[in-house]
Structure 1
Amino acid sequence: MSAWRAGSTGEYVMRKSIVFMCGLALGFALAFAMPPGRAHDADQLAASAPQKNPLFINMTTGDSWRGWMGLHFAHATLKMGHPVAVFLNLDAVTLASMKGEQEKKPSMQRIPRDIIADFIRDGGVVLMCGPCMAEFGLKLEDLVPGVQMGKPGFTQGFIFAENARTLTW
């Protein structure tokens, strides 16, 4: 008797296996197919109309090294031509403080407040959480010059800007 006989368990398993394999092959073909004339290249994507792709980074860590990494990423993205706004909240507000020492690990070229100053100078926006500042005893005059106070409505303008991407660090 043939394994393809109607109603047999072997036939059912074989058909299911064939359908699965065809679906898998089709999925791979669709996933890796590239329309003609379009490169699948990160450099090309990054260069495509960067001014229409702003980035909003919600930074929540006051850890010097983690903060440095996020700020370094924000500054590099700004230099690629994307508008970038960084919102410092929770203990991340301490990264913009001009008071006290900031830890500098060997892998860090600069401390966070120096990156913030250069980032603002190069056109980046740094917004500050007011209640978070108060929690850490900071005042506007304690911060890197150019840091702006975030407030309802103003901060959301950056989050919901046309084609904006958001990232939490």
Structure 2
Amino acid sequence: MKAIAFVASVFLTAVPLSLPVLAGNEDPLFINLTTDQAHRSTMAIGFSQAQLERGHPLTIFLNDQGILLASKAKADQYQEQQATLRAIMKKGGLVIACPACMKKYGISESDLLEGIKVGNPALTGEALFQDDTKTLSW
């Protein structure tokens, strides 16, 4: 019995207890938005905006069909989403457009909403790999 107690005490002393990791009030949020579907994209952008207003630094990465939301040529189709993206950028949120996706869907840099940045490894990586960043994908 003493041997078991000894092993248990050594184990508990040597192995730190795992505590749940909780999000801080100012942890960055990185949203990977891959859809242009009205309901899903509105949910993603609306959630993003709410977290930005709560104090979380925000990046939205428009990826795959999500890039269509950034096209001025599609303003009629994505009026609500574009208005919210503009509001997010006005409040300091970063919106990044995937350049490969722009090419696939025929969107030029001049067709992007004002303020959207064309992604590159440094820009996207800096946003994605900030300490304590949380990520979500739609």
Query: If the TM-score is normalised by the length of the shorter chain, which range does it land in?
Result: 0.7 to 0.9
Partner deviation per Cα, 1:58-82 (whole Å, 9 max, x = no partner) = 1111112211110010001000000
Q: Which residue of 2 aligns with 1:75?
A: 49
Larger radius of gyration: 1
Are 2:25 and 1:50 equivalent residues in the alignment? yes
**C-alpha separation between the residues in 2 aligned to 1:96 and 1:50?**
29
Task: Trace 1:6-155 onto structure 2 (pairs within 5 A).
Answer: 50-51=25-26, 53-100=27-74, 101-102=76-77, 111-155=80-124
Q: Mind listing any 5+ residue stretches in structure 2 that lack a counterpart?
A: 1-21
Superposition deviation, residue 156 in structure 1: 1.1
Normalising by the residue count of structure 2, what TM-score does the alignment of the two structures yield?
0.78
Bigger relative contact order, structure 1 or 2, given CA contacts below 8 A and separation 6+?
Answer: 2
User: TM-score, normalised to structure 1's length?
Assistant: 0.64
Structure 1 unpaired stretches of 5+? 1-44, 104-109
Q: Which residue does the alignment assign to 1:42?
A: none
Could you list the per-position Cα deviations for residues 138-158 of structure 1 after superposition, in whole angstroms to 9, with x for gaps in the alignment? 111111110001111221111
Q: Superposition RMSD on alpha carbons, in Å?
A: 1.6
Aligned residues: 116
Moved over 4 A (4+): none
**1:50 offset after TM fit, Å?**
2.5
Distance 1:67 1:81 in 2: 21
Distance 1:123 1:152 in 2: 21
2: CA distance, partners of 1:61 / 1:124: 19
CA distance in 2: counterparts of 1:128 and 1:84, whole angstroms: 14
8 Å Cα contact 1:102-1:112 kept in structure 2 = no
Residue identity over aligned pairs, in percent, reads 35
